[in-house]
Structure 1
Amino acid sequence: MTAQRVSPLGRFLRLSLFVGLIGAGSPGVATPEDTAAICDQMAGLASQRTGVPLSVLKAISLTETGRKRGKAFRPWPWTVNMEGKGHWFESREAAKAYVDKEYARGARSFDIGCFQINYKWHGEAFASIDEMFDPVPNALYAARLLGQLHAELGSWGKAAGAYHSRTTELAERYQARFERLRGPLLAGDGGAIPDIPDIVLAANGGAEAPQPKRANLFPLLQPGVTLAPGSLVPIQGRSAGSLFAAPAPKTVID
């Protein structure tokens, strides 16, 4: 496995997430409720950064990783789908150790995190598998992919289906589940996004970094790039690089 490469912004984002999660309650102790909230918090952040509706991102995370915890159905950030079988781990460390073990035996087709990014086709977009587990880049890419699919297909339901598969039957089945989970969340669109600090602004010392229009750091989502038939299939022209690396053509994840 390659050594991890993390930019200053990436380190800042991780620190911000960590501080936010332990800010309330016992220092350094994350309860199951805290952990289950990570995916929702990252959905809020990604919605703010990209404009994808909060209900869409929350519903995708639930569809991908949701499980019953007590009386509630919640997403879970330390979820791994290994070659078609889902696993829910109590900690990031346990999930990462499992993936490392499976990777060592030769496994390459596995999905990681709140939004189940697939390593086989899109791992080269990240500095390392560990960065794929980071809820921030995991959520930001998922949001941008969904935005691209919405632009292509014209509805969030169809975008969700294609996020899962370009095979019609599989996409429709996934879309139906997504729509059921999204329904109760629609009221949260608009004004109910969690109060998450503008971490990008803070990382730039309080000043907005100059950007031409909206910078698109994901070559998969650049105009003229054609998605392969399905969200879990390869794309052409992939190149390695961190999600948070300095501007340079890089390729993306599922």
Structure 2
Amino acid sequence: VPEGYIRVAVAHGVPPEALYSVSLTETAMAPRSIAAVVRQKTNLPAVSRPWPWTINVAGKGYRYASRLEAWRALQVFMSRYSLKRIDVGLAQVNLGWNGHHFVSTWAAFDPYTNLNAAASILRECWERKPGSWLDAAGCYHHPAGGQAAARYKTIVKRHLARLSGTTRQPPLLPPSLLPQTVAAIAPEPGFIWTEPGSEP
């Protein structure tokens, strides 16, 4: 599990593997797909990774080479669709139901801001019905449950199984020892996401 996911997850009292598996389920791209989107063949990850410049509109996914491209596309989608039909960023946070986690649509694409929102939502789902982070992941995708949540949990479970043999994570504090209010985690200088362009 990459360091940024660990830091955000632990701050929210969420298992890092759960947050990373949700992000993989939402936006994973294979190296070959990343190469096609960014139009380069060097400096690519060796395995699939969540892709931050992703938008899902009414069930259809769109991938962009940069944050600026994704943000510009989002402006067009917002003029045509209800915000409840639009998910954005690494963890595909829905703008209609969870847009209050962001100060702007530009901020929604910031990887750490998006992960903080996702971790907060995942934690809220777990607190509604404690006991299973897999159930919390199903709630993250479809709070009403049913087949949509069940299918999602199956995919998350597959990602978790792949991670379980390859990573060792520090143990999480029991919920009773976690702070009541969690401050959003900002990246340290070594964890800044590099991207072309600047905020519009």
Given candidates 62, 70, 90, the residue that maps to 1:95 is: 70
Q: 1:41 to 1:114 in 2, by over 3 A?
A: farther
SS in 2 for 1:77: coil
More deviation in 133-142 or 39-48?
Answer: 39-48
Question: Aligned residue for 2:139?
Answer: 162
Matched-pair contact (CA < 8 Å) for 2:53–2:67: yes
Cα distance between partner residues in 2 of 1:97 and 1:40:
28
TM-score, normalised with respect to structure 2:
0.72
SS in 2 for 1:52: coil
Answering whether residue 78 of structure 2 is matched by residue 115 of structure 1, we say no
* Per-residue Cα deviation, 1:46-91 (whole angstroms, up to 9, x for no partner): 1231231111111000000012223622210111001211011111
> In proportion to residue count, which structure has more helix?
2
Q: Which entry has the higher C-alpha Rg, 1 or 2?
A: 1
Matched-pair contact (CA < 8 Å) for 1:80–1:95: yes
Q: 1:130 to 1:177 in 2, by over 3 A?
A: same
SS in 1 for 2:56: strand
User: What residue ranges of structure 1 are gaps of 5+ in the alignment?
Assistant: 1-38, 193-212, 219-243, 245-254
- Root-mean-square deviation (CA, aligned residues, Å) is 2.6
Given candidates 6, 9, 13, the residue that maps to 1:47 is: 9
Given candidates 180, 184, 188, the residue that maps to 1:214 is: 180
Deviation at 1:161, TM superposition (A): 0.8
Cα distance between partner residues in 1 of 2:122 and 2:47:
26
Answering whether residue 20 of structure 2 is matched by residue 58 of structure 1, we say yes
User: What residue ranges of structure 2 are gaps of 5+ in the alignment?
Assistant: 33-45, 172-178, 187-200
Matched-pair contact (CA < 8 Å) for 2:122–2:136: yes
Cα distance between partner residues in 2 of 1:147 and 1:121:
16
Answering whether residue 46 of structure 2 is matched by residue 67 of structure 1, we say no
Answering whether residue 135 of structure 2 is matched by residue 147 of structure 1, we say no
Within-5 A mapping of 1:168-183 = 168-183=146-161
SS in 1 for 2:180: coil
TM-score, normalised with respect to structure 1:
0.57
Cα distance between partner residues in 2 of 1:124 and 1:51:
21
Matched-pair contact (CA < 8 Å) for 2:88–2:95: yes
Question: Aligned residue for 1:19?
Answer: none
Within-5 A mapping of 1:166-205 = 166-187=144-165, 188-191=167-170
Matched-pair contact (CA < 8 Å) for 2:11–2:182: no
Deviation at 1:189, TM superposition (A): 4.4
Dislocated runs of 4+, deviation >6 Å: none
More deviation in 183-192 or 127-136?
Answer: 183-192
Cα distance between partner residues in 1 of 2:154 and 2:81:
34
Cα distance between partner residues in 2 of 1:176 and 1:104:
34
| Number of equivalences | 162
Deviation at 1:151, TM superposition (A): 2.9
Cα distance between partner residues in 2 of 1:161 and 1:63:
11
